[in-house]
Amino acid sequence: MLNFELYNPTNYVFGKDQTAKLADLVPKNTKILLAYGGGSIFKNGVYDQVKAALTGVEIIEFGGIEPNPRYETLMKAVEIIRRENIGFILAVGGGSVIDGVKFISAAVKFDGNPMDILHKRLLIKDITQVIPFGTVLTLPATGSEMNSGAVITINETQEKLSFGGSALFPRFSICDPTVIESLPKRQIQNGIVDAFTHVMEQYLTYPTDALLQDRLAESILQTLVEIGPGVAENPTDYKLASNFMWCATMALNGLIQKGVPTDWATHMIGHELTALYEIDHARTLAIIGPNLYRVMFDTKKEKLAQYGERVFNVQGNSIEEKAQKAIEKTEAFFHKMGMLTRLSENTEQYEGTADFIVKRFEERGWVAMGEQQNITPEKVREIVEMSY
Ligand code: NZQ
Ligand code: ZN
């Protein structure tokens, strides 16, 4: 097992009716920016719950944070916070609102051009240099409610870039599984597939001696396979909803990546597809993931075989046969979750995508991705072309 430090200061508040606890969780005598997205919170009652819990608190509202949050929009909130002397931010929404708030939090006191946070992928570690924030999660998927990472899109350059740092954990996150009742089916499907792929990025590498991490990862995958199709059909089923929400958090709150190698190349390539074609984040992962496993088969086959056996009960006479079946099972699961796994099924204009992505990665110096740094530009090209 590799050496590790486990640090996660987020106060995770889970369950029905927990939004009422907001009054005790936010700092006293502090002006708050309530940040939200396109307005779903007004239709499903979440806004009303938040307002009821924060009666008497001085609040300024900032709406309009887009799915795949935009730098240009977030900078408007940065200006408001500077002008209005706001001391705390409350993100009410899904991964996009929470990620957006992480950027806002880091940018307000940033000494320099805030775009550098993204372009230079700065690590934000100094807790005194950020605006503290909490979240009310409305969409289980990203794990952003309990991690310190974020992904922001710059409109001007069509770039989708990640950043983060230990100062950017939410102070608290309220996670009430009943919020998914109002989610469109498409978003529930996305959430399951995003969480599933988060686990895969931290698990599907090569065999290590991290026995517990493997089994933690497999248990999350098994649970998602068990509940995924059902929760998309029956979002009011609390057993399914609560397990979904907890799985999505556990998939990316840092725990399962401790002491093991990680990949993340599916995400890096997927972000380009969202930046170029605005394909939903999870859907890009369903397009790229299985083909990445095919192209990187030789380095991943042992773990693929273990995953196939333990998660899908596949059988076979060789590592290769089991690994092959595991990829097929993965793709079949994604189809069951409503994913269209070819790029051409998600966008009409896809010619030249591989050239574009390879050039961009080379310009950024991303020439050795994956757990063994062997996902080279040639491999990226092969993966993307295989996904057309
Ligand atoms: O904007 P509103 O009106 O709120 O509507 C949203 C949005 O249209 C809607 N929605 C959210 N909760 C709802 C709801 N509609 C009805 N009822 C509810 N309870 O759903 C739509 C999608 O929301 P969004 O926040 O964009 O989805 P998600 O949570 O999947 O977040 C995706 C973003 O997170 C990033 C992705 O790249 C993408 O930008 N990620 C963040 C990560 C992290 N911070 O660790 C890791 C992930 O890998 C991912 O990259
Ligand atoms: Zn993701």
Q: What is the pLDDT of residue 278?
A: 96
Please give the average per-residue pLDDT across 240-256, as a whole number: 98
How far is 370 from 296, CA to CA, in rounded Å?
A: 9
CB 325 within 8 A of CB 316: yes
Using one digit for the tens of pLDDT, what is the confidence trace for 313-351? 999 999 999 999 999 999 999 999 999 999 999 999 999
Q: How many whole angstroms from 66 Cα to the centroid of ligand 1?
A: 9
pLDDT at 346 (0 to 100): 98
11-178: CATH number = 3.40.50.1970
Instruction: Name the residue type at position 100.
Output: G
Residue range 247-273: average pLDDT? 98
Q: What are phi and psi of 126, to 5 degrees?
A: -85, 110
Give the sign of the dihedral formed by CA 230, CA 233, CA 238, CA 241: positive
The pLDDT, as a whole number, for residue 277 is 97
Nearest-CA residue for atom 26 of ligand 1: 67
The per-residue pLDDT for range 345-385, each reduced to its tens digit, is 999 999 999 999 999 999 999 999 999 999 999 999 999 99
Position 49 confidence tier, pLDDT thresholds 50, 70, 90: very high
Beta bridge pairs of residue 309: none
Give the model's confidence band at 41: pLDDT under 50 very low, under 70 low, under 90 confident, else very high: very high
**Which residue's CA is the nearest one to ligand 1's atom 9?**
40
Which residues are CB-neighbours of 278 under 8 A, at least 6 positions away?
Answer: 68
Domain map of the chain by residue range?
11-178, 185-386
Q: Which atom of ligand 1 is nearest to the CA of 285?
A: 48
Q: In this structure, which residue's CA is closest to atom 50 in ligand 1?
A: 151
Cα 68 to middle of ligand 1, angstroms: 7
CA 8 to ligand 1 center in whole angstroms: 22
Whole-complex ipTM: 0.99
C-alpha pair distances (Å), 297 with each of 255, 266, 291, 330, 379 = 26, 14, 9, 14, 11
The residue contributing the CA closest to ligand 1 atom 21 is 67
Q: Which of 61, 174, 179, 281 most suits a substitution to test ligand 1, by most atoms within 8 Å of the C-beta?
A: 281
State the Cα angle at 191 between 216 and 307, rounded to 5°: 35
Q: How far apart are CA 315 and CA 326, in angstroms?
A: 10
Residues ≥6 apart with Cβ < 8 Å to 154: 70, 71, 72, 115, 118, 160, 161
Q: What integer pLDDT is reported at residue 195 of this predicted model?
A: 98
What residues line ligand 1, using a CB cutoff of 6 Å?
Answer: 37-41, 44, 67-68, 93-97, 99, 138-139, 141-144, 147, 149-151, 179, 182-183, 187, 190, 194, 252, 267, 281
pLDDT at 34: 98
Task: Give me the pLDDT at residue 78, please.
Answer: 98
pLDDT in tens, 82-135: 999 999 999 999 999 999 999 999 999 999 999 999 999 999 999 999 999 999
pLDDT on residue 45: 97
pLDDT of residue 329: 98
> Using 50, 70 and 90 to split pLDDT, how confident is the model at 13?
very high
Q: Please give the distance, rounded to the nearest whole angstrom, from the Cα atom of residue 220 to the centre of ligand 2.
A: 15
Do the two domains 11-178 and 185-386 of this chain adopt the same fold? no
Q: What is the pLDDT of residue 270?
A: 98
What are the structure tokens assigned to 2, written together?
């590799």
Strand-strand pairing, 159-164 and 149-154: antiparallel
Superfamily of chain region 185-386: Dehydroquinate synthase-like - alpha domain (1.20.1090.10)
Q: How many angstroms separate the alpha carbon of residue 142 from the centre of ligand 2?
A: 6
Average pLDDT over residues 268-297: 98
